[in-house]
Chain A
Amino acid sequence: IRVDSRTIYVGHRSSSTNEAFIPPKFCDNRIVSSKYTVWNFLPKNLFEQFRRIANFYFLIIFLVQVIVDTPTSPVTSGLPLFFVITVTAIKQGYEDWLRHKADNEVNKYPVTVLEDGRRIRKESEKIKVGDVVEVEEDKTFPCDLILLQSSRGDDTCFVTTASLDGESNHKTHYTVPDTEKDLESLNATIECEQPQPDLYKFVGRMHIYKTNQEPAVRSLGPENLLLKGATLKNTQKICGVAVYTGMETKMALNYQGKSQKRSAVEKSINAFLLVYLCILVSKALVCTTLKYVWQGKPGQDEPWYNEKTQREKDTNLYLKMFTDFLSFMVLFNFIIPVSMYVTVEMQKFLGSFFITWDKDFFDPEIKEGALVNTSDLNEELGQVEYVFTDKTGTLTQNNMEFIECCIDGFQYKYQDESSELDGLCVPDGPVSKLQQKAGREREELFLRALCLCHTVQVKESSEQGQAHEQRGFIASSPDEVALVKGTVVERSSMYELLHVLNFDPVRRRMSVIVRSKSGETLLFCKGADSSIFPRVKQEEVERIRMHVERNATEGYRTLCVAYKYLSEEEYAQADAGLREARLALQDREQKLMSVYNQVETGMSLIGATAVEDRLQEEAAETMEALQGAGMNVWVLTGDKMETAKSTCYACRLFQRSTELLELTVRTLEDGGRRREERLHELLLDYHKKAVQDAPPVKAGVTRRWSSANQDYGFIIDGATLSMVLNSSSESNASRYKNLFLQICQNCTAVLCCRMAPLQKAQIVKMVKNSKGCPITLSIGDGANDVSMILEAHVGIGIKGKEGRQAVRNSDYAIPKLKHLKKLLLAHGHLYYVRIAHLVQYFFYKNLCFILPQFLYQFFCGYSQQPLYDAAYLTMYNICFTSMPILAYSLLEQHICIEVLLDNATLYRDIAKNAMLRWGLFLYWTLLGVFHGLLFFFGVRFLFSNPALQDNGQVFGNWSYGTIVFTVLVFTVTLKLALDTRHWTWINHFVIWGSLAFYVFFSFFWGGIIWPFLKQQRLYFVFANMLSSVSAWLVIILLILVSLLPEILLVVFRKPRGPNARQIAPVTPLSYKHLKEDD
Chain B
Amino acid sequence: MMATSYNAKDEDGHITVSGPGGGTLRSRKPENTAFKQQRLPAWQPILTAGTVLPAFFIIGLIFIPIGIGLYVTSNNIREFEVDYTGVDVSSPCFNCSQNYSWNSSRPCTCTIPFYLEQPYEGNVYMYYGLSNFYQNHRRYVKSRDDSQLHGDMDSLLTPSKECEPYAFHDKKPIAPCGAIANSMFNDTLELFYNDPNGTKVLVPLANTGIAWFTDKYVKFKNPGGDGANLTAVFQGTSKPVNWLKPVYELDKNSSNNGFINEDFIVWMRTAALPTFRKLYRTIKDAKVIPTLPSGNYTLEVVYNYPVRSFEGRKRMILSTISWMGGKNPFLGIAYVTVGSVCFFLGVVLLVIHHKCGNRNNSADISN
Residues of A within 8 A of B (CB): 31, 33, 45, 47-52, 55, 71, 84, 88, 91-92, 95, 98-99, 102-103, 105-106, 163-164, 229, 251, 255, 257-258, 260, 299-300, 303-310, 341-342, 345-346, 348-349, 352-354, 356-359, 361-362, 367-369, 371-376, 808, 859-861, 863-866, 891, 893, 896-897, 938, 940-961, 978, 981-987, 1009, 1013-1016, 1019-1020, 1023-1024, 1028-1030, 1033-1034, 1037, 1040-1041, 1044, 1047-1048, 1050-1051, 1054-1055, 1064, 1066, 1068-1071, 1073-1074, 1077-1078
Contacts and interface: CB of A to CB of B under 8 A. Distances in A.
Given A341-B15, A946-B277, 17 more contacts: A102-B2, A164-B3, A255-B6, A309-B164, A354-B36, A359-B36, A375-B19, A891-B40, A893-B42, A946-B271, A951-B209, A952-B282, A957-B141, A958-B270, A985-B40, A1015-B146, A1030-B325
Contact of A103 (B5, B266, B338): B5
Given A52-B12, A348-B17, A308 B139 contact: yes
Residue among A305, A956, A1048 with the highest chain B CB neighbour number at 10 A = A305
Nearest to A987: B42
B32 interface: yes
A861 B134 contact: yes
Interface string B26-45: 11011110101111111111
Given A859-B273, A861-B137, A1048-B345, A304 B16 contact: no
Given A945-B328, A954-B279, A957-B272, A51 B13 contact: yes
B331 interface: yes
Interface string B274-309: 101111001000000000000000000000001001
A260 B331 CA distance: 55
Contact of A353 (B20, B331, B342): B20
B364 to A, nearest CB: 9
Contacts of B39: 1069, 1073-1074, 1077
22 contacts: A255-B6, A304-B183, A346-B17, A349-B20, A358-B38, A860-B274, A865-B138, A865-B141, A866-B138, A946-B271, A947-B325, A948-B324, A949-B325, A950-B322, A950-B324, A954-B266, A983-B43, A983-B44, A1020-B219, A1030-B331, A1033-B324, A1069-B41
Contact of A954 (B17, B166, B278): B278
A1054 B48 contact: yes
Interface stretch (B194-202, B210-218, B248-256): B210-218
B321 A952 contact: yes
B338 A1040 contact: yes
A95 B45 CA distance: 43
A260 B18 CA distance: 12
B133 interface: yes
B30 A1037 contact: no
Nearest to A371: B21
Interface string B164-192: 11100000000000010011000000000
Contacts of A50: 13
A369 B29 contact: yes
B44 A981 contact: yes
Contacts of B331: 942, 1030, 1033-1034, 1037
A232 B247 CA distance: 91
A365 to B, nearest CB: 12
A947 B34 contact: no
Contact of B17 (A84, A349, A938, A949): A349
Given A98-B5, A164-B3, A300 B310 contact: yes
A952 B319 contact: yes
A431 B134 CA distance: 103
A308 B139 CA distance: 8
A373 B59 CA distance: 51
B118 interface: no
A362 B29 contact: yes
A1040 B342 CA distance: 10
Interface of B: 1-6, 8-21, 23, 25-27, 29-32, 34, 36-49, 52, 55, 59, 66, 70, 123, 125, 127, 133-147, 150, 160, 162, 164-166, 179, 182-183, 209-212, 214-215, 218-219, 242, 266, 269-274, 276-279, 282, 306, 309-311, 319, 321-328, 330-331, 334-335, 338, 342, 345, 349, 356, 360
Contacts of A309: 164-165
Contacts of B146: 1013-1016
A899 B112 CA distance: 78
B78 to A, nearest CB: 13
Given A1019-B219, A1033-B331, A1047-B52, A92 B136 contact: no
A701 B219 CA distance: 68
Contact of B1 (A106, A978, A1037): A106
A345 B15 contact: yes
A1044 B342 contact: yes
Contact of B27 (A88, A368, A960): A368
A342 B147 CA distance: 37
Contacts of B276: 946, 954
Contact of B138 (A860, A938, A950, A1071): A860
A1055 B52 CA distance: 14
Contacts of B12: 48, 51-52, 260
Contacts of B125: 947, 952
Contacts of B43: 983, 1068
A373 B47 contact: no
Nearest to A372: B19
A84 B13 CA distance: 12
5 nearest CB pairs, A to B: A257-B10, A305-B183, A48-B13, A947-B326, A102-B5
B277 A954 contact: yes
A105 B335 contact: no
Contact of A310 (B25, B143, B165, B278): B165
B48 A229 contact: no
Nearest to A378: B19
A341 B214 CA distance: 41
B136 A860 contact: yes
A864 B218 CA distance: 29
Contacts of B147: 1014
Contact of B30 (A357, A946, A981): A357
Contacts of A88: 13, 15
B10 to A, nearest CB: 3
Contact of A942 (B135, B162, B182, B330): B330
Residue among A310, A947, A1047 with the highest chain B CB neighbour number at 10 A = A947
Given A307-B179, A1014-B162, A1020-B214, A950 B321 contact: yes
Contacts of A947: 125, 127, 277, 279, 319, 321, 325-326
A1071 B2 contact: no
A946 B179 contact: no
A304 B137 CA distance: 13
A944 B19 contact: no
Contact of B45 (A71, A958, A983, A984): A983
A895 B59 CA distance: 30
B271 A956 contact: yes
A1051 B49 contact: yes
A305 B179 contact: yes
B212 A1020 contact: yes
Contact of A956 (B123, B242, B272): B272
Contacts of A51: 12-13
Given A299-B310, A1037-B334, A71 B29 contact: no
Contacts of A33: 2, 5-6
A786 to B, nearest CB: 16
A353 B309 CA distance: 67
A944 B328 contact: yes
Residue among B31, B48, B137 with the highest chain A CB neighbour number at 10 A = B137
A1051 B219 contact: no
A898 to B, nearest CB: 10
B219 A1009 contact: yes
Given A356-B26, A367-B27, A945-B277, A1016 B219 contact: yes
